[in-house]
Every structure is written in C-alpha cells, then in structure tokens.
Amino acid sequence: MNKLNTPYVFFLGIGGIGMSAMARYFLVKGRSVMGYDKTPSGITEKLTQEGALVVYDDQWNEAFEALTPENCLVVYTPAIPKNATLMLEFHKRAFSLVKRAETLGMVTRFEKSIGVAGTHGKSTTSAMLAFLLSETPHKCNAFLGAIATNFDSNYLFSDKAEFTVMEADEFDRSFLFLAPFAGIVTSVDPDHLDIYETADKFHEGFRQYAMKIDPRGVLVVREGIALPGLCKKVSYALESTTADYVGINLVEGAQGISFTLKTPKGVFNDIHIGIHGQHNAENAVAALALCAELGLELPSIIPHFSRFQGIKRRFEMVYQSDNLVFIDDYAHHPTEISRLIESVKAMFPNLPIAGVFQPHLFSRTKDFAQGFAEALAGLDQLFLLPIYPARELPISGIDSPWLLSKIRMEKKQCVTPAALMPLLRDFNQGVLLTLGAGDIDRLVPAIKELLIANENE
C-alpha cells in the first residue's frame, strides 16, 4: 500500500477513460498528478482544469525534475507502446511502473468493491449501479469506463461511501488484479483475441475472475453464462421463465424504456429508466438484481431510475426530430452492433437506418469479419471508415475495402472522414448511427450541425 502514498503520481496515457478516472482519484486525495497523452481531448482538458499537469510531448522535460523513484508512482496503460520515450526514460531512472488495473486493485483491496465485467454492457451497467447506490444512504465511490451523464464524470467520490463500483476490464486480463466483494458479468462473447489467442482462453479469463469474488459476496450473471465461484450466484435475463431476476413487458416510450421486474421477493411494476434500448433494460435488471442481493430495498431505489441519463457514447441521442434521428454509440464488436440495430429498429420501425462505422483494431476486424458483415447488413445504408489502428500495426490484406466486400447489402461504400460530410448533405430523413471505439466521436459535433442544417433548408 506504500506505493499509493507517494506525493506525486504520473500517468502514461492519462487521457484514457480508465486512466483518467484513476487520476481523478489521486487528485481528490490531494496528490500532485501529472501525465502524458498523445493528443489533447475533452478528458485531458478537463483534467487540466481539475489540477493535473498534462503534457503531449513524449519527452522528459524540466517539469519532471522533482520526480524521484521514492516520491512518485508511475501508472501506465497497456495502450502505451513499450518503446515510448517516456516509458523507457522512467525505466532508465529506476521508477516503479504499475499497470492501471493493478493500481485499481490496490486502491479497492480493502473496500467493499463491486466489479462489473463483460464484453458488452459493463460501462452502462456500472454507471447504473453507481447512480442507484449514490441515491441511497449507503452512497458509493465509482471508477467508470465512460463519462456518466448524471455525474459528468467517470469518477464518483463520497466520504460516506460504503461501496466502490468499478468497471472490471477483461482487456490484457486486467480484471484479474481485482478482488471484488460482489460482481456482475453481463456477457462473455470472445474479444481481444490478440491478447487471449482463443475463445477458450478468453472464457478461462472470466472463470478466473469469477473465482476472485469474495465467498461472502454474490455474483449476478446473465442467464446462460456458466461460471464457477465460491460465492452465491444468481441469474438475470429478459422475458425468461427460469432466471432469478427477469425483465418482462418492455415498452419503449418517448423518455426511455419501461418494464416489469420479477424477483425472488416479488414483482415490481412500471420501472422506468431514462434511456432507450432493450439492451439497456437488460442492464437495468442486472443492476437492480445486485442491489437486491446486497440487501437494499428495491421500492426505495426504483423511483430514482427515471432520472438516469446514461453515459456518453452509449446509445447517446445526439439529435432527434420527427423525421431525423442521430445516435452515437461506442459499439465495436459484432454483438454490440447487432443489439444496437435491433433496438433502433424497434424504436423507429418506419425510418430507414444508415450507419457510419469505424472498425477498431486490425486484429479484431480480422478475427470477427464475418460477424461484422452479418451485423452491419442489418443497416439500410453503410458508410465504412478506415480501420482505427490504436496500438496496432497494419495486418497485410486486412482493411476496410476487404471488410466491405464481405457485407451483403446494396447501399455500402468506403469513405474517409473528409469525404463523409459531403455525402451526408442530403440526409434529412431516417436514423443515422455513428459506431466505433476509435476517434469517430470527433466527427459527431460536425455531423450534428450538418443534420440540423439539412432540416432547415
């Protein structure tokens, strides 16, 4: 625990969503926080406003001269290349470098922590859980994997908190550094095969994670997922006759989705959450199931759910009028894309759906090409952007034209970000989706402005 008591903390990749939440934790604790990131962003700008020193030049500079191996903890994300200049310089100067996930594990080791894991849904579910707990006398701290609209942050702090909610990320097996008191697993669809190599090894990672849940705690698992564990396990689902917690009678309304919740202790009618999508109703069932299993009274919690506003880039309704809808979503896995399109079709059955998709990682595109092809074929029109490489080098033969050739639909084309805007100048009726985990979100403000202009012409 001594590593956490240093007066300085330096973050390599401070602009990452998980890294920035950890940076905010140390800022709240009164530490001097510094960090490097490749490019400025809304997150880094806000961290600067909150008191962090953020640099964008991958070089040692005079601002770091006060740092020593004894007074500074260096936290890094696996997204930072191992040959990055600052990474090498910290190693050369004998600093102790610790992964973000390991740091989170140390921070939450002696707290009543709740880990939310899963290939899809973990960010929304953890934000729901944090919001609900924050509305109770128990309060909570939270390390979230996205910006929660209700908090306008990915970090939540209360000096009265009984619980700490944390997103348990499977990438790089990071969640194995955690030891939650309780947890939720939303899905185990294989992903990150550049790390895990095979689906069996990916599932083994989740099996190991489930075994780390405190035997005195509880694990809430989506029905159909088989995981071992030493703690109590309960299941959840939509429209099931066998799960322990079930959402039924789903109704999409103007302000969100409503449903009835069946639990081992009774039935709760007219639960309304302030966001749309059947997949979000399922996430809500998981969050309420865990609250119930923690001993909280659902009748006192449920009314707050109508004020939940979701998280940035998860079914985010950017613009809506009678004939034109613009939704931005982080979906970057075939299952996520399929579920999103299904929800949009249910909400807007009479409108055509166009999508702008930016594939994330060459390896993921290669591993799940057929899944992407089938999911994206659910659109009426597709604009396919170049692959966002993130931490990867190109793979020969794997690019967006290659993926486009596998998608069976008529209205499809590869476009660059620069060429996209002119193609959307006539888009004035239907649903437009922007999808992907890269930097596609930087196009969202300009697209919104263009769509509004289209309607006003």
For 18-80, the three-class secondary structure string (H helix, E strand, C coil) is HHHHHHHHHHHCCCEEEEECCCCCHHHHHHHHCCCEEECCCCCCHHHCCCCCCCEEEEECCCC
State the pLDDT at residue 1. 46
Q: Which residues pair with 354 in a beta bridge?
A: 381, 432
**DSSP per position, 167-201:** E---GGGGGGG---SEEEE-------HHHH-SHHH
CATH assignment of 111-307?
3.40.1190.10
Is domain 316-456 annotated with CATH 3.90.190.20? yes
Structure tokens belonging to residue 12: 């390599």
What separation in angstroms does the CA of 24 have from each of 51, 153, 195? 9, 9, 28
> Given this model, what pLDDT does residue 48 score?
97
DSSP codes, 108-144 = HTTSEEEEEE-SSSHHHHHHHHHHHHHTSTT-EEEEE
Q: DSSP state, 428?
A: -
CA distances from 279 to 22, 284, 333, 338, 342 (A): 28, 9, 14, 11, 9
Please check whether the domain covering 2-98 is classified as CATH 3.30.930.10.
no
Contacts 24+ apart (CB under 8 A), 139-142: 139/163, 140/164, 140/165, 141/111, 141/165, 142/166
Rounded CA separation 141/134 (Å): 8
- The pLDDT tens digits for 170-216 are 988 989 999 999 999 999 988 888 889 999 999 999 999 999 999 99
Residue ranges in the chain whose pLDDT is less than 50: 1
The residue extents of the domains of the chain are: 2-98, 111-307, 316-456
**pLDDT number for residue 390:** 83
- 175 CB neighbour count, 10 Å cutoff: 26
Nearest to 277 by CA among 298, 261, 253: 253
| Helix, strand or coil, per DSSP, at residue 288 | helix
Question: Two tokens at 6?
Answer: 């240093």
Write the Ramachandran bin of 266: left for phi over 0, alpha for psi from -120 to 50, otherwise beta: left
What pLDDT score does 304 carry? Answer: 95
- Whether residue 375 contacts residue 337, with contact meaning beta carbons closer than 8 Å, is answered with yes
